[in-house]
Structure 1
Amino acid sequence: MADPFGPQFAPQPAPEPDPGAPHPLADRVGQADDGTRWVATETRSRIVHLSAARANLLALAARDERRPVLISDELSSLTPAFARIWRDSGGTWVVRQADGALRNGFDGRRLSRLEESWTQPRPQSVDDYSIGYLRIPEGADILQVTTLVGLRHPARERTLLGEPLDVLAKRMDSTAGLAWGTHEPVGEPWDRRRATDVIRAEMPRLTTVVAAGPGLSATIGAQRTEFGVEEIDHLVTGIGAPDEATFAAVRSRLADVFRRVAETGMPLVGLQLVHPGRRDLAVPPYLLPPPLPLALFVGAPAVRSFGLDVALMRERHGAEVVGRPRLPALLFELGPVGLEAWQRLDRILAAFNPTLLEEALGMAAGSLSRIRSEAPSEPDPDAPHPDTPDQEGGPDA
């Protein structure tokens, strides 16, 4: 039988646009001093979503080897799907402040030129930040939980993608109104078979669809690899402002995503983090307190690839053994919520052989590395925080 996820099932490519014809959203193009070619799009939208036009701009930027740059004012926020796909495509975000100064919308670094949004490293001290970025954002009054799951599937006709979203929506009572699409706003009722067919039609290249429901936003991406079909899902759900007892119950239901996929599929790795945010789940151009890890999941293939001792992991780190008896996976609850949870996570990850990371975790290895690199390595009382008083006496000039 022919491989249903093979390249021979990819649709015929559409006619290439005229390279000389400007994209309607391309407000400026240029080349930086470091040789990077870029294309910038400006917006005044209060919520910037992954519209069909923006998705097309990303595709053309990739074809022309240009870095996409979003330019907005301080009133624009991004949907989680747009923020993730824009960044994964190499995109940057430049915020033009009311006083005319620039800053990086993702990390708050002061900028003097547009190209510094990708040439300058993440801020290392308070002096690197724009004061505007440190202001307390309005409406960040709930907790959000981000769930990252990487899975591996056989390239078969009956393979279905998106199970983590299915499980999460059911556990959080968000199935009513759950919809999906190839761009935002989504409008088609959630259907795993339909979403899988759309992604499969674009194999072997990486293709991502988006989904949204009440208090829920998700991206589901997959590509064909030598190991089969690699899937990576990012799920963001709002859980309100629960008290301690309610939060513990919600936390257990969220971890059921890992328990379930360990029983029915072949997940590679998973991570759950909690962070303050807005009810609309939008990503604001302001600093929020750092995300804090709740749980780490290590699937059966990774347990085997890393040579992890299941009994030792249970004894030393309190791992819960989940999945099928012959294919054990490990679920690590990372204890009380706090910056120390990052240290507990690091102690567990120290058992992973870094040379096997990419092979064992597939696409999820990159996401896991990015999350870890952007998080604090230890509690730091001097780290910038929205409540930090003005250190410079006023807006940056």
Structure 2
Amino acid sequence: MTKDVIALTDRMPDAWSVLAGLLAGGPDLHVRSAAEGAVIQLCDAEGRPLVSIEAPLLLHVPGEAQRLLGATGGDGERRWWTEARASTAVPGAEQLAGAFAARLATLLGGTVWPPDAPGADDATHPVDTSQITAVPAPVAAQPAVDVLTDKVAVVLQDRPVIAMSSWLSQALRATLESERALQIVTPRHCRLSLPTGSALTGPPTRWVVQDPDCGYYDGRTGAVLRWQDGAFEAAEDADGQTPVAPAFADVAPTGERQMLLSFRAVHDPDAHLVLGGALEAAWQALIGELPTGWGTAEPANLPWSRRRLTDLAYERAPQPTWTVVVGSADRPALATLRVLRTPEGVEEDVTLAVGFRDGEKPPVSAVADLAAELTARHGLRTLLAQLREARADLTVPPHFERPPVPFGFALGPAEVAEAGTGIAARPPLPAAPVRIGAAARPGYYYPLGDGDPAEGWTDFETLLRHLRGAL
């Protein structure tokens, strides 16, 4: 599986400490940079990569290491996160990565994840690399890619939570550019972070779970998989049907739930525009506090700042900007925010997820007032609010989860005008819509029940058909 090792250090890895870590393989290995200098690679005499080391990140956000690595991820204090990935094609490379991370932790104070990483138990002696040999890396390969075929790029991972790291996001972009699919292979005990799960949009892009009973299955659908013609594809039984792995259906109710809020806001491209206000309003309404951190990958390493978010989006325009936003450890909350320039203006697409433990009540009634605030102050176009039975920690497990059920939908004034004010104001629903805009240019919030599957989906479908003029 994956051979990732992470050093979580108290002090910043400077050039000398990194050099000392690189010498864990002795003086005969070579060093080169990749990814425009963001990655350092230890290579053999032929220049073939053995270990790739990413630039250190200072985790300003308390709890991010623990969220992604579990109890061994630290105690919530600020740490420097330095990640090394050993080539899975090279026996012994993981020991080299472990020794590198252990040297950093010894010199700078800190810990190594995983604690039992090969090579991490003795940071004083160089690793014997005389027998380590590597194979040439394919031209299209990324540091995170373990197998590359004409159809797919395969990434092998074994972490508590498979996060949308910078390496993984680079691999995803590279596969799209090369017209391949991304397939992530993990053991059954792994889970996906919400951003990673959202990025796996369906076959041939897959989450492939290793299972002792059936071999492999799709972690999102349960379909049994086989490696065929250079990719993991759905297997078929004698009747031509794809069986479902028994492990996928092995589910016990926990009482935990998630509230999911997806909305789109559009702003005039004003020179004084500061982004992130709509997300802040939603966070405050549902959680009672502001976000704590954000970043362009996981772990989110920057303290929350609307100004810095705006500056980044401005620098990247006209290309879109994708970010992940996290909250405090007291209330599991996570959002993805995509900013892009459209003919209508500057658009913010937000998906916010909030986790609730057994016995806790999601603030369903707060969404109507939030929709009104987003309409009045933040250019709301559409909003969909849903509930689902799922893990409160917002991770995605490799077994069946019920789909989310809509309980509220909102249209901003521009969408109401497009649908027709008379049509938007009189939907054939049990509950009357709530006006959330000015009388002259209204928007509407549509209650869709309290999360009951039959009621929520039936009312939502009826509403959409009515707004589209199909009734």
Question: Does the alignment reach a TM-score above 0.5?
Answer: yes
Using the TM superposition, name which of 87-96 and 331-340 deviates more: 87-96
Q: List aligned pairs for 1:88-237, cutoff 5 A.
A: 91-113=205-227, 128-136=243-251, 140-173=254-287, 175=289, 178-214=292-328, 215-237=332-354
Q: Is the 8 A contact 1:164 1:257 kept in 2?
A: no
Q: Does 1:348 align with 2:463?
A: yes
Offset of residue 151 of structure 1: 1.6
Q: List aligned pairs for 1:1-397, cutoff 5 A.
A: 20=139, 22-31=141-150, 37-87=151-201, 91-113=205-227, 128-136=243-251, 140-173=254-287, 175=289, 178-214=292-328, 215-242=332-359, 246-247=361-362, 250-309=363-422, 310-313=424-427, 317-340=431-454, 341-353=456-468
When normalised by structure 1's length, the TM-score is: 0.74
Runs of 4+ in 1 over 4 A off after TM superposition: 13-19, 114-120, 314-317
Q: Is the 8 A contact 1:163 1:261 kept in 2?
A: no
Change (3 A) 1:88 1:96: closer
Offset of residue 205 of structure 1: 2.3
The alignment partner of 1:251 has SS state of: coil
Q: How far apart, in 2, do the equivalents of 1:164 and 1:198 lie?
A: 17
Q: Is the 8 A contact 2:141 2:148 kept in 1?
A: no
Q: Is the 8 A contact 1:80 1:283 kept in 2?
A: yes
Offset of residue 137 of structure 1: 5.5
Offset of residue 26 of structure 1: 0.7
The alignment partner of 1:342 has SS state of: helix
Deviation readout 1:226-282 (Å, 9 max, x if unpaired): 222222100000133346xx55xx111234332211111222211111112223210
Structure 1 unpaired stretches of 5+: 1-12, 32-36, 121-125, 356-397
Aligned residues: 330
Change (3 A) 1:182 1:73: same
Q: Is the 8 A contact 2:386 2:451 kept in 1?
A: no
Change (3 A) 1:145 1:16: closer
Q: How far apart, in 2, do the equivalents of 1:230 and 1:89 lie?
A: 29
Offset of residue 217 of structure 1: 0.4
Deviation readout 1:349-370 (Å, 9 max, x if unpaired): 0023389xxxxxxxxxxxxxxx
Change (3 A) 1:313 1:52: same
Aligned residues: CA RMSD? 3.2
Using the TM superposition, name which of 330-339 and 104-113 deviates more: 104-113
Q: How far apart, in 1, do the equivalents of 2:250 and 2:390 lie?
A: 14
Offset of residue 164 of structure 1: 3.2
Q: How far apart, in 2, do the equivalents of 1:137 and 1:70 lie?
A: 25
Using the TM superposition, name which of 156-165 and 337-346 deviates more: 156-165
Q: How far apart, in 2, do the equivalents of 1:110 and 1:119 lie?
A: 6
Change (3 A) 1:203 1:72: same
Greater gyration radius: 2
Q: Is the 8 A contact 2:214 2:224 kept in 1?
A: no
The alignment partner of 1:224 has SS state of: strand
The alignment partner of 1:262 has SS state of: helix
Letter in 2 for 1:39: A
Structure 2 unpaired stretches of 5+: 1-34, 40-136, 236-240
Deviation readout 1:52-104 (Å, 9 max, x if unpaired): 21122122222222211111121111111222234399842111212352211
The alignment partner of 2:212 has SS state of: coil
Q: How far apart, in 2, do the equivalents of 1:241 and 1:217 lie?
A: 19
When normalised by structure 2's length, the TM-score is: 0.63
Deviation readout 1:299-345 (Å, 9 max, x if unpaired): 11111112242442398751101023332111011123212210011
Q: How far apart, in 2, do the equivalents of 1:353 and 1:314 lie?
A: 13
